[in-house]
A = this chain, B = another copy of it.
Amino acid sequence: MKRKNRIVVVGGSAAGPKAAAKARRMDSEAEVILIQKDPELSMASCGYPYYVGGFFDDRNMLLSTPTGVTRDPVFYMNAKAIEARTSTEVTRIDSAAHTLDYRNLLTQEEGSLEYDKLILATGAVPRMPPVPGTDLKGITTLQSMRDADYLRKVRDEGIIKKAVVVGGGLIGIETCEALHLAGIQITVVELLPQLLTFLDWQLAKLVENHVKSKGADVITGSRVAAFLGEDGRLAGVKLDSGTELPCELAVIAVGVIPNVRLARDTGVTIGETGGITVNEYLQTSDPDIYAVGDCIETVNRITGRKVLAPYGDLANLQGRVAGENAASDNTITFPGTIQTGICKVFDFSAGSTGLSEHAARNLGYEDIVSVVNASPDKPGFMNGQLLITKMVADRKSGKILGAQCVGPGNVGKQVAQWAMAIQGDLTVEDLVNSDLPYAPPFSLAIDHFIATAHIMQNKLKGRLKGISAVDVKAKLDNRETPFFLDVREPEEFEETRLGIGETLMPPGALRKRLDELPQDKNREIICYCKVSLRGYEAALVLEANGWRNVRVMEGGIMAWPYPKEK
C-alpha cells in the first residue's frame, strides 16, 4: 500500500503552524508533520513585549487558543490531526531523495523522514553587533519564549535598575516601553540618526520626543563599541563616542537575519537580500519545497523589488498560501507586501505603509511630492487626539507611494486606510472624496485621511506652497531670514510658541494688519498655526494681496520636532 501524501513543515512559530493547519484543511488524507526546534509551538511572539511589560500576567495566553487550550502536540494531534514534534531540529534535507534528518534535542535521538512536500518556516535569527562582550550575562534579545521569560523575570524581581536597549526599531521601542513600565531606567542606543526607520526623520523625531517625555533616554547616531563586563556579568555599554552607559541589562534589537542555513545546505536558491527566493506560489527553486515567513524574501508590490519583510501578519498569510499550495496543485498566489507596520510607543502609535520619502528617493523615485498634515482624529468635544501624517505621492500619476502616521490618536485606523488605498491603486484624486464611516465618536466630518489627501491635492495643483519643518530649520541654521507669521490666537501663543523670530497675527486680524508685514512683496513669508490650516488660509490672503513668496509650514507647531521657546 502506498504511503499517504506527506507534508512536512519545518518551523513551528507563526508561518509553520498556519501552513500545517491549512494543508490539513485542504487535504484530510495527507499526513501533516510539524517539526519545531523550540519546546513551544505557535507562540504569539509579537506579544512578548506586552507580557514583559505586564499588560498581562498569564504566560499561557501566549501559547493557547482564545479559549485557553494550550497549543501543544496533544492539541495539534487531537484537534487538527497534525503530528507536531517539538524540541526537534531538522539537521539535513536530501531534496533528491525527498528525505530529511532530524535530532530530538532532549533525547538526542536521531531519525530520518520521507516527505512529498516540504514547507520551510525556519524564521529569522537576531542580528548581533560585531563587538566584544556579547556573551556576557545580562545581554539578551527578545526573540524567543525563553527571552521573554528572562525579561519577565527581570521585571518581576525588580532588582535591575538600568538597562540599555540596542536598536531603535519596532522591537527596540516595544522593549523600551516594556522595561520602562517595569520601573527600569532605559537608554535606547540607535546607530542611525533616528528611531523607527520606516518613518521619515521628522516623524521619527516626534516619536523620539515622546519617548523622552516619558523619561526614557534615546541616543541616536551612535554605535555600540563594546559591552563591558565584571565577573562575566554586564556592567555597561560603551559607545563609539567613548561614552559609557552603566547598566545591568542590555537588550539587543538591531534586526533579524533570515535563518536560511538549512535551505542553503539543501541547495535551494537564496536571494540577494539574504532570504530564500520563492515564486508567487511560495515555492523555492525546488518545486517540492515551499518557504514562508521571516526566512524568505518577498516582493514589494509598489517597487517590484525583492525585500525582507519579517512581519507576523505576513507570516500567517504566507503560511496559509503555502499550506494550500503544498496540499493542492499551486491554486493560490501570494502577491507580496506593501510593508505595512505599526507599533505602540507609550501613549503614541507609529505606523507606516508603502514607501517613506527617504525610501522612495533611495529607490530612484524623483518626481515625488510629500505633505505633512496634523489634525485630531475626532472632534474636540469627543476628546479627539492628535494625528500627524506624512503622505508621499508620485507627482505625475498622483499615485500614493506611501503614508506614515504618528501620534496619540487612532493611528491604526489611518494606516489601515492608507494600506487599502495603496492596494486599490488609488490616486490622490480618488481619495479626496472618500466615503468613510463618520460620526463624532469615530472621526472628524472630514477625516484626517481625507484632509491629508486634500492638502496633497492643493499642493499638486500648486495652490498650497508648503515647506517642511525640516526645511524651515535648515533656513534658520543657514541664517536665512524669512518672515515668520504665526496665525494663532494670543492665548495659544502664550501657551506654546516656536521662538524663531515669528510675528503673531491672529487670523481675524490679518486682513487689517497687512501693513505690518514686510512691504517687499518678494520677501519670503512662512505662515503657520497649530496645524497650519489657518496658516494655509493666511497664505492665500497674502498671495491675494500681492505677496509672491509665501509658504505654509506643513503640520504647523504640532509637527515641529525641534525644541520650542515655550
Contacts and interface: CB of A to CB of B under 8 A. Distances in A.
In the assembly, how many copies of this chain are there? 2
A312 interface: yes
Interface in A109-145: none
Contact of A380 (B61, B69, B420, B540): B61
8 contacts: A29-B544, A44-B379, A50-B382, A61-B381, A316-B445, A349-B442, A420-B420, A423-B435
A356 interface: no
Nearest to A492: B67
Given A316-B446, A417-B417, A439-B46, A426 B426 contact: no
Contacts of A438: 46, 311-313, 340-342
A78 B413 CA distance: 36
A488 interface: yes
Interface string A437-473: 1111111011100100010000000010000000000
Interface of A: 14, 25, 28-29, 44, 46-47, 50-51, 55-56, 58, 61-62, 66-69, 74-75, 78-81, 170, 174, 301, 311-317, 320-321, 334-335, 337-344, 349, 351, 353, 376, 379-382, 410, 412-413, 415-417, 419-421, 423-426, 430, 432-443, 445-447, 450, 454, 463, 488-489, 492, 507-512, 530, 534, 536-537, 540-541, 543-544
A487 to B, nearest CB: 9
A451 B349 CA distance: 24
B544 A439 contact: no
Central interface residue in A61, A66, A417, by most chain B CB within 10 Å: A66
Contact of A344 (B79, B376, B439): B439
Given A424-B423, A425-B424, A340 B446 contact: no
A443 B349 CA distance: 13
A108 to B, nearest CB: 30
A441 B489 contact: no
A439 B170 CA distance: 10
Contacts of A463: 25
A440 B44 contact: yes
